[in-house]
Amino acid sequence: MAEIKFYSEKTGKFYRLVKTDTWPYLEISGIRMHRADDVDPKTDAILKIKALGKIYGSVLDCCTGLGYTAILAAKRRNVREVITIEKDENVILIAKHNPFSKPLFENKKIKLIIGDVCEEIKNFVDRRFNFIIHDPPRISIAPELYSLEFYRQLYRVLKDNGRLLHYVGKPGLRQGKRYLKGIVKRLRLAGFTKIKMVDYALSLIIEKY
């Protein structure tokens, strides 16, 4: 795999695809978009899907990135479709050159939408998805993806008895409790009541009743 790195005048960001022992990770302006220290990017994606449990039906993947979680979700036999949304065309360009992202463009179960998920989600009818994977960039980069307004949209499009995975990572000790507390508070205001932390996936698993 050839090294991929470039600067985009349009976004003002520097993009790099970084090799690992398994699947490569994406770095944007020095910020990693995948876990790569304690686990490799492939294991990271596997753990997120595992945390969701037995998945089936229709899945929404809010932030495509290199497509790893969408690819693994679509491999599940009982999953009918995965709709995945990415607004940064440079990220999709990199995915097209990443051999490990190939199924993102070839698996007929996967539908890739290029657009802003905050706007695209409004196009879906109520209770559209059985499962949602929400793996956003850190809150300082994309605060809108942690907003009450967006969480209300996630609640709206998730079916009753559906599950949402919200990756939260490992925030610093000082802001950690406050950061998580704010996320949980907004999720509850949006209507979610059953929220638990799954440490191995660094994610919240949220159920809708």
The token duo for 51 is 């945390």
Q: CA-CA distances (angstroms) from residue 180 to 70, 80, 167, 175, 177?
A: 25, 32, 11, 8, 5
pLDDT above 80 (res 161): yes
Q: With CA atoms as reference, report the closest residue to 36 among 206, 157, 202, 151.
A: 202
pLDDT at residue 69 greater than cutoff 70: yes
Residue 66, burial from CB neighbour count under 10 angstroms (0-12, 13-18, 19+):
buried
CATH architecture of the region 41-207: 3-Layer(aba) Sandwich (3.40)
% of the chain residues with pLDDT over 70: 96
pLDDT (mean) for 84-94: 97
Average pLDDT over residues 16-32: 94
Gap between the Cα atoms of 194 and 44, Å rounded: 23
Q: Region 80-89: what's the mean pLDDT?
A: 98
- State the pLDDT confidence band at 53, using cuts at 50, 70 and 90: very high
- pLDDT of residue 120 exceeding 70, the answer is yes
Q: Is residue 3 very low, low, confident or very high in pLDDT (cuts 50, 70, 90)?
A: confident
Domain boundaries, the chain: 41-207
